[in-house]
Amino acid sequence: MTASLSFTTESLGNRVKSRLERLPQVNIFDWQDAHRIVCGDITVGSADEVVDALVSSGLRIEAFNFDLLGSDGKWDRPDPTLIAAELLGDQFVFLDKGNTFDPPLPEPCLGMVAPTHPIHIAKKPIGHACCAKWDIIFSEPICRFLRDHSSGTLGPVMSKGHVVENWHRFFVNERLSVLAGPGVKVGNCAACHVSGRWNAGVWLGRAPKGLAFCQEELGISHGNLEHPYILSVKVAAELARRFHSGFGLQPIVNVDSLIGQKMVQLLERINGMPILTQS
């Protein structure tokens, strides 16, 4: 398993494009009125040379992202480089704009729904974990599973003035430091321009002793107010075996691995570059 790195930039000039095309494991694609540059395996490829070329060119970089390669989602046989997983929603549901947001954000991002209030959604979700803007709501069966691995409190989900049965918000009592700060990108939301830390495409971290299910201590997203749900590799594998679908699992890679250290090195350079958008 390894990772690739891609950049979206304004249209490349002939000199820069020619320089990049000569590098091994680098591909360039037309991307609307811009170009997308994809660097293959960052541990053996030419990612550093691509960064050098972009820095010296002064080109405007619109976005960048890492992608995990060779992670096929088979949690019954997880790669030894993985130390945990982020639990994600599998579907999306619209939020009612009448929610109590704390803090509110400029549209279209709206904000985080205050934990002391119900979350109001447009319609009943499907699956087991569903994204409601920046919150995730969970089905009753998955809440029971999660409660077997950590204590927490449930919050109500409402739609059109009525409680949505068998769906809940889940507030985990335990927060642990799993994600590695050097493994995030910094910048502004592409939609509302609020600053924060963002997923660089691949999470990096270290597994603390006793990790089963928690929320992450490190704040991310708008104003660094979001705290992701984190599962140990063992619990993630058990979840995948029991429920099969209706949720998402994003692998978290050991920051001390070869992939992790190369990502940290590249991020130190990229986070110092002017990036138009980050999320």
Q: What is the CA radius of gyration of the chain?
A: 20
* CB atoms near residue 186 (< 10 Å): 17
Per-residue pLDDT reduced to its tens digit, 88-143: 999 999 999 889 998 899 989 999 899 999 999 999 999 999 999 989 999 999 99
Asked if 113 and 95 count as a contact pair (C-beta separation under 8 A), the reply is yes
Domain ranges of the chain: 2-69, 72-255
- As given in the structure block, the two tokens for residue 250 are 């994003």
Instruction: Identify the three-state secondary structure at position 51.
Output: helix
Instruction: Identify the three-state secondary structure at position 4.
Output: strand
Q: According to the model, what pLDDT value does residue 234 have?
A: 95
- As given in the structure block, the two tokens for residue 63 are 């976005």
pTM here is 0.89
Hey, which CATH number is domain 2-69, 3.40.50.720, 3.40.50.1000, 3.30.70.980, 3.30.360.10? 3.30.70.980
